[in-house]
Amino acid sequence: MKKNFLFITVCILSAFLFLLQLNCSPKKTMSNDELIARGKYLVNFGGCNDCHSPKLMTPMGPAVDTTKLLSGYPASQPVLPIDSGLITPGKWVLTNDESLIWAGPWGISFSANITSDSSTGIGAWTLDNFISTMRTGKHLGNGRMILPPMPWDGVGKLTDDDLKAMFTYLQTVPAINNRVPNPVPPNMITGSSKKK
């Protein structure tokens, strides 16, 4: 009787360990469609559209213009005058009604075009370019520092698999040719009121 009980316990335990091992076995690699779906999910949740997509103003506030998804600050849009006295440390950070241009103590940054356009977006980037940009906070991993408020530090904490999914989806976002202006350093900001 005791022996039987021991035998059953050993059986249950081995079955349990077997199932546990099945569960821990390496995940199957995702198909391209699965990567795109996961990437779209992460991009939507990650707020990328909030800062990178042009908006249409509605009675409920700005809504993403789905015809210009992730194309960044429109190159044709003139930069409104900025009161440089307001953006010194401890004061304001300014943005426009589309959250595509940002002025603060770092100067003016323009939300990038992250569509699949190969000359003005990230269509010519490799997955490695994308991952190293997000992990280092430097353009392509070795260029200039990426300016606020791009949350590269948080995005860069995603796993390689999630960054791969994000990049795979971004490469399917329709290409929009829009060359976003270069950042403006703080001392080059011309505004209505100069520092006293």
Which CB sits closer to ligand HEC, 159 or 193?
159
Residues that bind ligand HEC (CB under 6 A): 43, 46-48, 50-52, 102, 109, 111-112, 114, 122, 133, 139, 146-147, 149-151, 155, 166, 183
Least separation in angstroms between residue 163's CB and ligand HEC is: 9
Sign of CA dihedral 126, 183, 173, 52: positive
Least separation in angstroms between residue 144's CB and ligand HEC is: 7
Q: Which of 57, 136, 151, 127 is nearest to 98 (CA)?
A: 57
Least separation in angstroms between residue 187's CB and ligand HEC is: 17
Which CB sits closer to ligand HEC, 81 or 149?
149
Which CB sits closer to ligand HEC, 84 or 130?
130
Which CB sits closer to ligand HEC, 48 or 84?
48
Which CB sits closer to ligand HEC, 88 or 182?
182
Q: Give the helix, strand, coil percentages of the chain, each rounded to 5.
A: 40, 10, 50
Sign of CA dihedral 8, 13, 16, 21: negative
Least separation in angstroms between residue 12's CB and ligand HEC is: 45
Least separation in angstroms between residue 79's CB and ligand HEC is: 14
The answer to whether 120 touches 114, Cβ cutoff 8 Å, is no
Torsion angle in degrees (nearest 10) through CA of 14, 19, 24, 29: 140
**Residue 124 phi, psi (nearest 5):** -95, 0
184: three-class secondary structure by DSSP: strand
Least separation in angstroms between residue 26's CB and ligand HEC is: 26
Which CB sits closer to ligand HEC, 85 or 141?
141
**Residue 66 phi, psi (nearest 5):** -70, -10
